[in-house]
Amino acid sequence: MDEVLHAIPKQPDPVVMVGHSLAGLTIPIAASRVRTAMTIYLCAILPVPGLSFDAQHAHIGTGFKPSEPAIGHDDGSASWPERGAIETFFHDCVPDVAQSAARQLRPQFWKITQEVTPLRQWPPVPVAYILCTDDRMVSPDYSRLAARLQLGIDPIELPGGHSPSCPDLACWRKPWSAPLRVNS
């Protein structure tokens, strides 16, 4: 959490926090500690106050099986072979962007999913949840349910995968025309 808070520019204006994927567990905690104008969750998993993510027993999977799955390491981290990462995260990107993105992935530690969230209530800021209908990592069904149960909103649905890349931005259907809600 300290790394996130230190990365936020020191400014008088509130910030907009965007949490993609696993960062959905972090941004509501950060938003409760700094002036925040809005939180936006993109293909994100969400905490439940008082529980670890693992204790939620949430089914986030889509059933997609890459040809090369993630590899677990002795230190508790996991990493993705390039081909499996492209198939899972970057399947809708142009090939050179997908390859470049896959090569930049670092090992991921899952300890955050095992820790009870310190979040006791959702920060009172406007919130949006964006799901991608072709996500192969976080199920759009999970996203719809989590957005409704945890945030009390209907998610904005956009085409694309877990790390969406749309060569023609016209395919993004005015995401901010959807009503937003302030959590209380």
What percent of the chain shows pLDDT beyond 70?
89
Rg, C-alpha atoms of the chain: 17
Tell me the backbone φ, ψ of residue 158, rounded to 5 degrees.
-125, 155
Confidence of residue 32 (pLDDT cuts 50, 70, 90): very high
Q: State pTM to two decimals.
A: 0.86
The pLDDT value given to residue 33: 92
Full DSSP string of 20-70: EGGGGGTHHHHHTTS-EEEEEEES-----TTSBHHHHT---------SS--
Residue 115, CA distances (Å) to 34, 56, 60, 70 in order? 22, 12, 18, 22
Q: Is residue 170's pLDDT more than 80?
A: no
| 54 vs 11, higher pLDDT | 54
Contacts of 77 (CB under 8 A, 6+ apart): 107, 108, 109, 110
The pLDDT value given to residue 29: 95
Q: Is residue 88's pLDDT more than 50?
A: yes
Do the beta carbons of residue 102 and residue 88 sit within 8 Å?
no
For the segment 61-87, the average pLDDT, to the nearest whole number, is 95
Q: How many Cα atoms occupy the beta-carbon half-sphere of 103 within 13 Å?
A: 6
